[in-house]
Amino acid sequence: MLICILGRFGSLQAQEISQEYRLKAAFLVNFARFITWPEQSFSAKQQEFTICVAGVNPFSNVLSAVESKQINGRKIRVTYVDSLRKVPQCHLLYVSRSEEEDLAYLSTGIALHPVVTVSDIPGFVKAGGSIEFILKENRLSFIINHSALKQRGIQAGASMLDLAASVR
């Protein structure tokens, strides 16, 4: 009986986690729709919009569903890498909690590239990240590091800035 109850609890936790990351995946796609990258971010031969996930993949297979969608006429491609230090060229980079110890790399290895970095690591924006997921009044929200985006030549739309819990 106890094993049955524990099994149901574990399943419920997995459903909650996947629901959280389904919502975060939707946010990632919507962030991309309200952000403008410098034109040189897309070469003539590169017609894809690339989302990268660095570290342990918390999305499971949720992001595979967005590969059928487009951002500004560009097909979405999702790439997974095991480390923040091995990130290929991408437009939007989700940094998993497993990469928390390597956050200093954001200001040295990625800082000058036109990439939007997103994470739910507490203090991510203070560490130089672009967007940090937070819970505000039991709802998923986000903080935008507008100065980090501008340094990379990236512009967040006014409506996105208005929706943010905080803009720095």
Residue-wise pLDDT for 77-130, tens only, equals 999 999 888 888 899 999 999 999 988 877 777 777 899 999 999 999 999 999
Provide the number of structural domains found in the chain. Answer: 1
**Eight-class DSSP state of 100:** G
Amino acid at 19: Q
Q: What is the pLDDT of residue 87?
A: 83
Residues 6+ apart with CB under 8 A from 109: 84, 85, 87
pLDDT digits 0-9 by tens, 5-27: 333 333 334 455 578 999 999 99
Which residues lie closer than 8 Å to 129 by C-beta, 6 or more apart?
95, 103, 106, 117, 118, 119, 121, 145, 148
Signed CA dihedral, 30, 155, 83, 49: sign only: positive
Does this model's pTM top 0.85?
Answer: yes
Average pLDDT over residues 137-145: 94
Supply the CATH number for residue 24's domain: 3.40.50.2300
Q: What percent of the chain has pLDDT over 70?
A: 88
What is the per-residue pLDDT for 168? Answer: 93
